[in-house]
Every structure is written in structure tokens, then in C-alpha cells.
Amino acid sequence: MPDFEPKIVAFVCTWCTYAGADLAGTSRMQYPPNVRVLKFPCTGRIDPVFILRAFQKGADGVLVSGCHPGDCHYMAGNFHARRRFAAFRALLDFVGVDLNRLQFSWVSAAEGGKWVEVVTELTERVRTMGPMPEFKELEHEELWSTFAGAAGGKSAVLNSPELKEAYDSIG
Amino acid sequence: MKNKLMHLSNETMNVGFVKKVEALSGSSVRRCFQCGKCSAGCPMSTFMEHPPNRIVRLLQLGQGQRVLAGRSIWYCASCETCTTRCPNKVDLAAIMDALRKLSWDADGPSKESYVQLANRLFIENIRTYGRQYELRLGAIFNMKSGQFLKDLMLGPKLISKGKLKMFHSKNRNIGEIEGIFKRIEEMRKKGEAL
Amino acid sequence: MSRIGVFVCHCGENISRTVDVERVAKAAGEIPGVAFSCDYKYMCSDPGQSLLKKAVAEHKLDGVLVAACSPRMHEKTFRKATESAGLNPYLCEMANIREHCSWVHEDREKATEKATDIVKLMVERVRKGKSLAPITVPVTKRALVIGGGIAGIQAALDIADAGHRVVLVERDPSIGGHMAQLSETFPTLDCSQCIMTPKMVDVANHPNITLYTYAEIEKVDGYIGNFQVTVKHKARSVDQSKCTGCGVCMTKCPKKKIPNEFDQGHGMRPAIYVPFPQAVPNTPVIDRENCTMFQSGKCGVCAKVCGPGAVDYEQQDSFTVEDVGAIVVATGFKLYTIDRKPDDSPIQGYGEFGYGTIPDVIDGLTFERLASASGPTGGKILRPSDGKEPKQVVFIQCVGSRAREKGISYCSKVCCMYTAKHTMLYHHKVHDGQAYVFFMDARTPGKGYDEFWRRAVEEEEAVYIRGMVSRMYQKGDKIVVMGSDIQVGVQVEIEADLVVLATAVQAQDGADLLAQKLGISYDKYNFYSEAHAKLKPVECATAGIYLAGACQGPKDIPDTVSQASAAAAKVMTLFAKDQLERDPVVAKVNEKYCVGCFACKKVCAYGAIEEKEIRDRQGNLVKKVAYVNPGVCGGCGTCQATCPSKSIELDGYTDEQIMAMIESL
Amino acid sequence: MTPGKKKLSYSYYPGCSLHASGREYDISTRALFKALNVGLKEVPDWFCCGATPAHNVDELLSLSLCAKNLSLADQVEGDLAVACAACFSRLKTTQHHLKEDATKRKQVEYAIDGPASLNKPVKHILEILAREYGLAKLEESVKKPLMGLKVAAYYGCLLTRPPEVPELDDCEDPSIMEDILRALGAEPVKWSHRMECCGANFTLSRPGVVLKLSNAILESARLAGADCIMVACPLCHGNLDIRQKEIKEAFGAPDSTLFGSIFGSDLPIANTSEDRRDLPIFYITQLAALAMGVASQSLGFESVIIDPKPLLRDKQLL
């Protein structure tokens, strides 16, 4: 697959890694354009469901990156993230996801170079692995992973009457 | 001596000796904070049992006798590297001079008699001739130090090259030199000079 | 949002050189819900901002996306512009196509494609965005300062001078703390009491300061701007409102031989006492454990001689609740002792120094009292055992400090300097004496500090010996000190008359208990933790609580005073507004779905989550749910990712927003 | 003095070594000054300055001897030119100490039975060449540029130390020798040991010390690609020239001699150069005079141990 361009999604915290990526920019460093960055206040905010959903929606590789342990802007958010993702990785491994597609790293606001390194490495690694079709096939199945329905958003999420009834009865 | 337990008290610290060293050298030993820069740059450090910084340290502790008992002071080449680079302007080269003088005056128990001997002959030469007379210096040094064969091959070569003179003429004003020596001795006798 | 405006910036050529901005703008225009899109040379310029405002009005936009530089650069600019166009500022977002795209890629085609993707992603975010209102919390403009040492005094005076009311709470009968005990202070050698006591009097006289001595913090409720603090007033046995401070009770008290804590146990005081003559307030307390009246019921001399009738043996502990908006913690330190500690303590004690049994082995604070003109010896250096003037004094630094295996790994920071000061004081008072100092390093980072230490060595003739002391023992009336000089490489033995140990600075007893009441964090040595070691050195992680002085870690007087004034400045900043306003990125609980598992509470680093009871009209408890205090919430969102029922949500980063972004991938 | 307008003229203190082991320094100095048309008049009946041994054990004697010499020099007109680095250092140090220390000055004046002369400027010939005669004029005066000659300029200890006394140049990074060499058309090499001690007067009492220290200097110069070393001190010259063959025997090949294995093995020595070629040692005045076109026969080359003539011939300077 010589022409395969992997899609990489990066979930980053705003204080360290997002700023680190900014620094890579102001330093005019170069890295593959395959990455799409989603900004969070803290890695502690990142729900594992987001990662699953990203794979489902076409990501071939996912990067989660935040402040170094001990440097969290919110004191302990990244510690919680670290624990959460340690368990989550094991789970993904169990269901058969190649963990090489999922990278966790610490990139500080001063590490523009490290950001470039991490993104480049993951992109090239995933490029050699090829696309990841398994999760995308699940795309049409309904999931509970969002509460868009409750907020009056896309009704598609709760389009079966049984589900809707069950959902409404909770309140 | 080096490893002997050191008792510190007002009695065991010979502050008088240190004060003499400070007066002769015009340099305070207390200024030294033992950074070790003197020993780091000293070309002779490897030949000494007390490297330069330790000499100062021993003086700070009033341990003049430990310093004089060693040969370190006689291995100082007076290159002044230590003095030049000292961050506290401790004039270690001058302190070494002062220590050698005090050892010299006391005819101290130095292990390093060769250097002392060479210095003695050098100064004798000045007193007798007014100028250096290198052949005599070398010959008498070898004789007195018992190293008759030292530099045996070098001597004749240097003579043939015109570097060593066989004969030496005294200065016409040699009397004045003797006067200088005598007046210095006189001042010291009267306690007017160190 | 169904009428979103997208503004693509060229940033001169910074973006347009690698990204085809026109194509991006065109692609944005085709996204459903985007009502307007354009590109412009400099969006951040005045004309650029006007363009944005005009478009909002003309196209009736209800959401704005500016595709330009990093939001860290200009998010504020564009949110302000959006706000002035009449929209809620939080409906404006930025797509970073400069730092994250044009500057890091060279391939124009791919960069344009990526920029378009980023815009699509962010349009979804704008679409699901919500109007947010800044959160306001009312502020009680009254501060509590805990601890009446130099830190607490400085903070209290600064805040009071700024016109705010202050409650100063001190555990001991008098304010003054450790600084009042010191004889002279480095690096200028001015008399500690001379500079300290005027400040103590200022505190007592300040109209804005309410001073509670012999009082402790019992309980702390509330949050930033709105704390309710319960103060316990220990029974003094003397009515402060009646006492004139004449001191007759103290002179008449028959029990006079009680070791005085202020003199480190080396002077004597009666059972009814003030700790030292310049005490503030000058009202005595009765030490009930040592008072004959309290122990056997027979005496009552003090009550008999008290003219105003202030002595009250029946007095009980009392409590007041203080409403304050901010708290400054300034509880100070205590000194390590070399005595053997209980088995469960991590501190080992120093058996090789005699576990504190050699009478002429004293600590630094005791030496301060011996050198102090108001001390038990009237300022003469006399050793405790026989009152003789010591001629050979050995000082030992780093006793307890920097000794991991003894239980403390940190440097106590002040000992190098105060030991140098001690050698000077000693040399000034005992001219024929000799001071020796065993030390590992001389740590003197401070203005005029190294010069001060060098003066002790070079001019005051202290003999500094680099090396530690292995053991000391009593031999006749001497203490044999066995050390080493590692510079010479020999063992050194000194027969000393007095040994002064620079023992470690430790957190106050009970520092951990106070921290638990306050809800602030502390390290393994019970020193309080600042919110950020570099950038928030006086703030606690808990909003509205600030740190001053050695309770945070060993500190000398200049550093303590600086930090106290900094803490006061932080309090004044807080008090500058009537309402506390903050970024509305905070978590909110959907009480309908919350099952009250409180997993969120466990992970909250700010202690922002409380338990809230939901009752029906009859007042019966229906359920307990989580409640986020918006004044305290830091906005990290860890609670949301943790919540198993997805009933807590961080404004600005809702699941809906993020999922929508992921959907657009 | 403005060069060119009035003839430069100096009084001259050669010192003991220049009348004996360093005679070629004296010869070449006189020849150079003659070629440059600079006057040089020897101080009559000068005494030994006391050198290192005197101040080593008796500072007062050292100061007195130098003060005596300075007052003798007063009888001759012109600043006092000194060639020997040790004499230069002692004379300057004496002036410095006696100016600062009134007690010592009184003692010295009693010892020499007369006033100490502290104001006569004492100049090293390097200073005279580079500053008073001037580098530009020196360059103009060159008749036979020392093209292609790679020279390691060796300062040794005493020319610039201690910093407050000689005032000759920067005490850690001097350039005066290199400046002169460039003016002469030669190529100064960059090398590491130009200010390390050669062992100085231990040459008599502890020659082993000299062998070790001088070896490091020679090796550093060889590694830097120098053809020769230039010195301004007869003692340095003696140690590097007279003892060079001995050094080669002692350190020639690793462990080849008893001395090398005993003395050299535990001590850090610069990487051994491959060829260990002979390095002729020149005095500054020899090279300068050569460049000025002075006949090599009158520069004392016959007095040195390492024959410089093959090198000079090779570079077409003879």
C-alpha cells in the first residue's frame, strides 16, 4: 500500500502538549500532515470512549498526550489519565487491537521537538501497518456512547422506540 | 605524620607560626575557601604529598609543623600559576616562599634536602662572586649531594658549546654585596626584619 | 447553531504561503450550517475584527470560527470582538491552521487539505457550543491569618494596612513566634527584638486587626470568598478585658521554678506568666498543669493579689465563628531534637551524640537565648551545666538535615547562616574563645550571605572544618568531639566546653491536622504544598488559601517576610472585587442522573465536589448527589471522564461537543 | 618616544644566564638591536638578581639584590631593557612590592645602603619590540621574512605572572609573541602548553621533574605541527634544548626506559607524537635578528644543542 495515508487523531491537553505543538510551529519544524489535533483542558478529561469512537470514525492511529507526570496544570489530572489508559490499553489488547496504533506520551510546552518526533514516529509506524478497518465496520451499529439524544441533538442515536422509552424512564 | 589524629585546641594550633607566614607573604590564609584551583593547575602537584590547597588548609588549622615536615614546599617551582588564578587572591607562591624561608631559618626537618642544597649554593655563589657561576654550582651540588655522576655527559658538552665557563671573574664592586648580606643579618639579629 | 461564520486568515503570508486559504474558505462555506465564510489578510487587525463584527450583524451569525493562529495567541482578541458584536464570547472558537498546519508542512496540497479538516472539526465544536456566563462568587472582605510569627504578623499588617479587616490567630499566649526568640539576625546582625517588637505592638494597636492569642483553629467550612472558620479560645484563666498587665500575679505566684519554653527551658517562669516581657498581649495565662490551685485546689494567691479581679479559675474554652474570604496559613516551624523518638516516628535521633543527655550539647535556638540580652544568662555565653564560660565551642551543621537515614533528606536552609552568626556572636562575647564549625557545605545563597559567612571565617576567626562529627562523649567537664577534616584527610579531635547543634527545621506539630481542617495538601514532612513550585509559590491548590513562611518549607526571615507580603498581596487582589469572577469552564452535575457514587469526588484535586442532599417536599431524603462548587472547580474535567453515569459535564468541553468533532473526522 | 624621530636607546641588564648558559640570547639581542638601530648600553657591574632561589628562601635578600641592581641601572640613561624572563619578573616584582610596602622598602634601603630606585621603567625586550619599536615598523624592517616557519611561541611562567606585576600582556591569553612572529613573517601555531611550567630551576636539583614537564611541552608543540619553539627565557631554553635528548631517551617510546616506566607511566602526558622529531629552540631575538637579515654566524647557533640549521636550511632561511 504505497499510497496509503494514515489518519492520525491526537487528543492533547491544552497546557503542555498543545503548547508544545505550537512551539513546533513557531520553530518551523516539519512533520507529516496526517495528524488532527483535538484540544482538551487536561488528559484527565479524555474518556476512553473518545478513542474508540475515533477508530470507528476512520482514525488509523490515535495519540494521547499531556503534561509530564507531576507537571499537570490541574495537579493530578494526568495521573488519573495514566491509570485510566493503563487499564484501557489492556482492554484493547484483549479485544485484539494492535496497540501499536495507540500511543500515549508526555510532551511538555517546551518540547516542540518531541512532539514532532512522536507524531512522525506514530504516522510512519501506522503507515507500515496499513488501514484499520475493524472498528469502522461497527460504525452503523448504535451505541450508547453519547447522550446527544438527551440534549436534543441528533435523534439518530436513540432512534428505536424501545431505547427511547428506556431512556426516558430513567428520569 | 600525615595521617596522625589531629587534636585541635588553642594550645595545639600554632597561630604564631601562621601569623609569621602571613606577615612574610603579605597574604591571608583565612581567605582561602578550599576550592582546589591551585592544586588543579599546579605543575608540581603530583610530586607533592600535600597538594597546594592542603598546605593552606593545614595553615588554617595552625598545623605548620605538618607542612614543614613534608617535602611539598621544596617541590614548588614558583611558577605562580596558583597565585594568578586564585579566586580569593591568596598569594600561594608568596606563602610557599615564606614557608621555605621559615624552614630554611629553622634548618627544618625537611625530607627534601637537594633543593635546599641547590638554593644554598646559589646564594653562596652570589655572596662570593656577585653573579652565578654555573659550573661551580653544578659541580659542588653533585659533590655535596653525592651524585657524582649526575649529568656527567652534559658538563663537557656544555663547556665545549661555551655554555659553561671554566673561570669566573668577581665583580669589581663585590664588597657591596657582602655589605647587603651583612646588613640584612644585622637587621634580623636586632629583630628589625623577619 | 445553524448560522456559523467562518473567517480564514492569511496571516500576511504565514498561512497563505502553504495553505490555499480561498479554497479553505470555500470548502467551509459548503459545510451545512455555515452561513458565511470568507478569507482575509490579517483577521486580528482592526479591519479584520470589523469584518467579523459586520458579518455577525449582516448575516445574523450565531457562531464564529476564526481559522488563524493558535488560540493561545488570539482567542481572547476574537472572543472580545464577538462579544462586542453582541454574541456570547464563548460562541467564538479558533481553528489553528498556522502553528499546527502552515508552519509545519511544506506540501501545499496536503496542508490545504489538513486546514480544511481542522476547520470542519472546529465548526462542529462551534455548532455544539453553548453560551456561558462568567461565574461570580461573592467575597467576604475579611482575612484570617493563622500563626503570629513574623510571617503572620507581616501578612496581617499588610492586609490591614490595605484597609481590610484581619483576624490573627496565635496558638501561644503571645505573638512573636521564633523570631522573638532570636538574639541577632543575619546578615546585618541587628537585634531581633528591636525590629520585631514594634511590629508586634503595631498588630495589637491596628484598628483593622482582631488578635486572638492562646487560640486554635477548630474547623473550616466554605470556600474561596466565603469561609466560616471556628476558632477555639483556650481558657486563659485570666479575663483579658479586665487585666491591666500590671504583673503582680506573676511576682506573687509561689510556684516560680517552671522551665520557660520561650528560653528553650533554660530560664524559669511562674505558673501564671507571660512568655517574655515584651509579650503581646501583655495578659498572663495560667499554666494549669503546673498551677497549685488547679492541681490541689489550694493557693489562689494570684486571684487575691489581682486588683481588677481578672483571674478567673472557672474560665472555660470558648468558640467563635469567623466569616472570612481568604486564609493565610503562617504556622511556622519547630526544631528537630536529637532525642530518641517514639518507635513509630521516622526520625531516628542521634545516639552517637548522646540522645540529648549531655547537658552542654544544645541546639541553635538555645544558643540564641544564651546570646540574647533578654535571655536567661543576660546575654553572657554561659554553658548550661555549670554556668562557666566555654572557651572551646564546637558547632555542628546539618544535624538531622540532609540525613536521609535519620528521616530527613532536605536542607534546612537557615543553619549555615545562623551558625556563621553564632560564631560571630561568640567571638564578640568571648574574646579568648575559639569556635570550630563542622560542616559539609556552606550554603549561602542570599544577598550579602556569602560575604557574611566569609567574614565569620576570615575576620572572626572561626575554624571551619569540612567534615562531619562521628561521635561525642563526656570526659570530665569536657565533651570530646570526634570528627574529620576531609580536606586534609585526618581525624580531628576537639575537647569542647560547649557543643551547638544546628538541628533541622521541621514542620510544626499538628501541621497535618490543620491541613486536613483547611483541605490543603502537605508533603511527607508535613510542610504545606504550594499550587505550583515556580509560578504559584504562595497559593494553595485550594482556592482562597495562601501560604507564608516556614510552614511551607524551611525559610529565613527575608524570605518569610517576602512570602508573607506576597500572600497579603494575593489576598488584596482577591478583595479588590466585590464579586469573584472566573472562567466558566467548570463542571456541572446533572442531578437527575447522578447516582451519588462520588467517584468524581475522589478524583477531584480541588475538593470542589460536595455531597448534596435532595429532599422531597416533606423533607425526606430522596438521594444524595454530587454538587460542584463553581468557585472552587479548576476545570480539568477529570470528573467527567470518571463519572460512570455520565452525569457530570465540563462546560466548554461537553461530550456532545467532542463527539461531534470526532464524528466529523 | 616616537619611533623614527629620536633614536631609541636603552640601558641593559643581561643577567647571569645571558653571560653563560644563555650566551646566545645575549649575542642575538645585541645583534638584533644593532640591526634595528636601537641603542643598548649594559649596566656596569650588575649583580645576580637572586632569581628563584633567593626569593624561595629569603625574600628580603631577593628584594635587596634587585633594588641594588635597579640603582646601578639608574647610572645608565634610558629605560631598562631585560631579556631574561626571570630577571624581568624579579626586577618588576621588587618595584611593585617596594612601592606598596613601606616597611619592606625601609629594610631594603638599609640593606643596600641607599635609596631604592622604583621609577625606572623596566621593559622586557618583547615589549620593546612590539610596542616601543612597534609591530608595524618591525614588519617594515624585515629583510628576510620567516616564510613557512611554524613556530610554537612559549611564554612559560614568569613573563606574565602574577598579573598585577609584569603588565606585559593578558596573564592567561597573551599574544605578544605571536604578534611579533607574524610581523616577522613566521606562522605561529596554536598549541596547548605555551604557558605551562618547564620545571625551571629544578634542572639542577631534581632533573626528573624537568624531564616530565618539558616533555609535555615538547609533545604539545609537536602535535600542533610546530617546526620549532620560540622562548624568551634562558632557563626555559636550557630545559627544552639542553635536556631534549635526555627527554627523548626517557620518554621516547612507551616503557622503553626504566625512567619512562617509573616516572612517566602514572602521569598524564600528552599523546605521543609519531615522529618525536627534534625541535630546535630559538630565542625570540635569534628569530627576529634572522628576519632582519643578520648573518646567522653571529646569532650563537653554534652554542645550542639541537642544531637549528637543518630546519632553517629546509625553509630556505639560511
Residue B149 confidence class, pLDDT cut points 50, 70, 90: confident
**For residue C455, which amino acid is it?**
R
Q: What is the mean pLDDT of residues A91-113?
A: 91
* SS3 sequence of D6-37: CCCEEEEECCCHHHCCCHHHHHHHHHHHHHCC
Mean pLDDT of chain C: 94
pLDDT tens per residue across span C565-608:
999 999 999 999 999 888 889 999 999 999 999 999 999 988 89
pLDDT at B2: 53
pLDDT tens per residue across span D266-278:
444 444 555 688 9
Question: Residue A171 and residue C624: Cα distance in Å, rounded?
Answer: 16
pLDDT at B107: 67
Question: Residue C375 and residue C193: Cα distance in Å, rounded?
Answer: 11
C434–B7: do the CB atoms touch at under 8 Å?
no
The verdict on D107 touching B (C-beta cutoff 8 Å) is: yes
* Interfacial D residues in 28-47 facing B (CB < 8 Å): 45-47
Taking alpha carbons only, the member of A130, A124, A135, A115 closest to residue A65 is A115
Q: What is the mean pLDDT of residues D234-260?
A: 75
**Is the pLDDT score of C205 beyond 90?**
yes
Query: A72 vs chain C: nearest CA distance in angstroms?
Result: 10
Residue B168 confidence class, pLDDT cut points 50, 70, 90: low
Question: Residue D92 and residue C637: Cα distance in Å, rounded?
Answer: 77
C235-316 CATH, one of 3.30.70, 3.40.50, 3.30.1380, 3.30.310? 3.30.70
B10–C392: do the CB atoms touch at under 8 Å?
yes
Question: Residue C224 and residue D157: Cα distance in Å, rounded?
Answer: 70
Query: B6 vs chain C: nearest CA distance in angstroms?
Result: 5
pLDDT at C641: 93
* In chain D, where the domains are located: 9-123, 144-314
pLDDT tens per residue across span C211-267:
999 999 999 988 899 999 999 999 999 999 999 999 999 999 999 999 999 999 999
B57–C487: do the CB atoms touch at under 8 Å?
yes
D9-123 CATH fold: Glutathione S-transferase Yfyf (Class Pi); Chain A, domain 2 (1.20.1050)
Instruction: Cell 535519620: give the residue.
Output: C406
For chains C and A, having 3+ Cβ pairs within 8 Å is answered yes
C491–B5: do the CB atoms touch at under 8 Å?
yes
- Give kind and range of the element (H or E) at residue D156: none
D286 versus D272: which is more confidently predicted? D286
Query: B26 vs chain C: nearest CA distance in angstroms?
Result: 15
Mean pLDDT of chain A: 84
Query: C531 vs chain A: nearest CA distance in angstroms?
Result: 8
Q: What is the mean pLDDT of residues D134-160?
A: 94
Q: According to CATH, where is 3.40.50 located in chain A?
A: 8-140
What share of chain C in percent tops pLDDT 90? 88
Question: Residue C485 and residue C498: Cα distance in Å, rounded?
Answer: 20
Most confidently predicted of B184-193, C28-37, C524-533: C28-37
pLDDT tens per residue across span A120-143:
999 999 999 999 887 776 655 544
pLDDT at C91: 95
C157, C141 Cβ separation under 8 angstroms? no
Supply the CATH classification number for the domain B15-105: 1.10.1060.10
C490–B33: do the CB atoms touch at under 8 Å?
no
C487–B54: do the CB atoms touch at under 8 Å?
yes
- Touching subunits of B (3+ CB pairs, under 8 Å) are C, D
Q: According to CATH, where is 3.50.50.60 located in chain C?
A: 135-224+321-332+544-578, 336-506
C104–A153: do the CB atoms touch at under 8 Å?
no
Burial of C282 per CB tally in 10 Å (0-12, 13-18, 19+): middle
Contacts of D117 (CB under 8 A, 6+ apart): D67, D70, D71, D73, D74
Question: Residue C325 and residue C574: Cα distance in Å, rounded?
Answer: 8
B58–C434: do the CB atoms touch at under 8 Å?
no
Question: Residue C29 and residue C39: Cα distance in Å, rounded?
Answer: 11
pLDDT at D273: 52
D163–B180: do the CB atoms touch at under 8 Å?
no
Phi, psi angle pair for D124, to nearest 5°:
-80, 150
Q: According to CATH, where is 3.30.70.20 located in chain C?
A: 583-663
DSSP structural state of residue C83: H
* Interfacial C residues in 122-161 facing A (CB < 8 Å): 128
pLDDT tens per residue across span D37-60:
999 999 999 999 998 888 888 899
pLDDT tens per residue across span C77-134:
999 999 999 999 999 999 999 999 999 999 999 999 999 999 999 999 999 999 999 8
C463–B8: do the CB atoms touch at under 8 Å?
yes
Phi, psi angle pair for B107, to nearest 5°:
50, 50
Residues in A closer than 8 angstroms to C640, CB to CB, are 45, 47
User: Which of A13, A18, A37, A80 to probe by mutation at the C interface, max C CB count within 10 Å?
Assistant: A80
- Give kind and range of the element (H or E) at residue C499: strand C498-503
Of B47, B131, B165, nearest to D47 by CB-CB distance is: B131
**Is the pLDDT score of D1 beyond 70?**
no
Taking alpha carbons only, the member of D55, D93, D41, D91 closest to residue D71 is D91
**Is the pLDDT score of A32 beyond 50?**
yes
C104–A42: do the CB atoms touch at under 8 Å?
no
What share of chain D in percent tops pLDDT 90? 68
pLDDT at C650: 94
Residue A1 confidence class, pLDDT cut points 50, 70, 90: very low
Instruction: Cell 504544598: give the residue.
Output: C529
For chains D and B, having 3+ Cβ pairs within 8 Å is answered yes
pLDDT tens per residue across span B53-64:
999 999 999 999
Residues in B closer than 8 angstroms to C391, CB to CB, are 10
**Is the pLDDT score of C506 beyond 60?**
yes
A33–C593: do the CB atoms touch at under 8 Å?
no
What share of chain A in percent tops pLDDT 70? 78
Query: B132 vs chain D: nearest CA distance in angstroms?
Result: 6
C426 versus A1: which is more confidently predicted? C426
A8-140 CATH, one of 3.30.460, 3.40.50, 2.115.10, 2.60.40? 3.40.50
Supply the CATH classification number for the domain C4-127: 3.40.50
The CA-based diameter of chain A, rounded to the nearest angstrom, is: 55
User: Which of B61, B67, B89 to probe by mutation at the C interface, max C CB count within 10 Å?
Assistant: B61
Cis bond upstream, residue D188 (ω within 30): no
CATH class of C583-663: alpha beta
C488–B7: do the CB atoms touch at under 8 Å?
no
Residues in D closer than 8 angstroms to B24, CB to CB, are 59
**Is the pLDDT score of C662 beyond 70?**
yes
pLDDT at D161: 85
Smallest CA–CA distance from B92 into chain D, residue = D162
Mean pLDDT of chain B: 86
Q: What is the mean pLDDT of residues A85-109?
A: 91
User: Which of D26, D48, D65 to probe by mutation at the B interface, max B CB count within 10 Å?
Assistant: D48
Query: C17 vs chain A: nearest CA distance in angstroms?
Result: 13
pLDDT tens per residue across span C48-85:
999 999 999 999 999 999 999 999 899 999 999 999 99
B44–D205: do the CB atoms touch at under 8 Å?
no
pLDDT at A97: 87
Domain C135-224+321-332+544-578 superfamily per CATH: FAD/NAD(P)-binding domain (3.50.50.60)
CATH class of D144-314: alpha beta
Give the cell for residue D29.
639581542
C336-506 CATH, one of 3.40.1190.20, 3.50.50.60, 3.30.450.20, 3.30.2010.10? 3.50.50.60
